[in-house]
Amino acid sequence: MSEDAISRALDAAEDLIYARGVQSVGMDEIRDRSGVPLKRLYQLFSSKENLVVAVLERRDTRWHARLSGYVDRVDDPEARVLAVFDWLGEWFAEPGFRGCAWINTNGEMGAVSPAVAEQARRHKGTFKHYLGQLVADAGLPPWLTDQLALLADGAMADAGIFATAAPAARARAAAETLIHAARAH
């Protein structure tokens, strides 16, 4: 029962918080959506902040698995780097896409919640590390990793704000330019 209650609480919290933001969602609403009594919610997650952190942790695992699953279908090492941006385009086009959960949540709570800020840093750090591995596998210079990560993060923010998948294609085109420039040196 405990695992089921945790799963239902996380599902409800993730759906509500991703759609509307942390501050606009109360624990009562998470209770109503999940069917988990409020007292039980607080037994499972001692605070709303702890629930948000758990949501981000679980989402992080799924997000990275989806990204790497997409990229793993590509054989050419340089094309694998660009596949990250292709995947972003597919993600941005999903119904209900509202931007990067970690950027959004950090913007809402990062200044007052070290745990949320740490989750955002961890997620972005893991993404940058993954991107760095792809860059290295393609024989590209390591400095390219930071630039590509900035392009991806900018595309995530832009896509969330403007509700369009177009930033992924623009970021991919910029990534191609950076890759060609790196190869020229």
Structure-token pair, residue 93: 């086009």
pLDDT in tens, 18-36: 999 999 999 999 999 999 9
**177, pLDDT greater than 70:** yes
Q: Classify residue 19 by burial, with Cβ atoms within 10 Å: 0-12, 13-18, 19+.
A: exposed
Instruction: Round to whole Å and give the CA distance between 61 and 131.
Output: 16
Hey, which CATH number is domain 1-46, 1.10.10, 3.20.20, 2.40.128, 3.30.70? 1.10.10
% of residues, the chain, pLDDT over 90 = 98
Query: According to the CATH classification, is domain 49-184 in 2.70.150.10?
Result: no
* Phi and psi, residue 142, nearest 5°: -60, -30
**Of 31, 51, 49, 50, the residue nearest 40 (C-alpha):** 31
Cα 16 from chain centroid (whole Å)? 16
Q: Classify residue 185 by burial, with Cβ atoms within 10 Å: 0-12, 13-18, 19+.
A: exposed
| Segment 96-125 mean pLDDT | 97
Domain boundaries, the chain: 1-46, 49-184
Q: Classify residue 135 by burial, with Cβ atoms within 10 Å: 0-12, 13-18, 19+.
A: buried
Report pTM: 0.94
- pLDDT range class, residue 2, cuts 50, 70, 90: confident
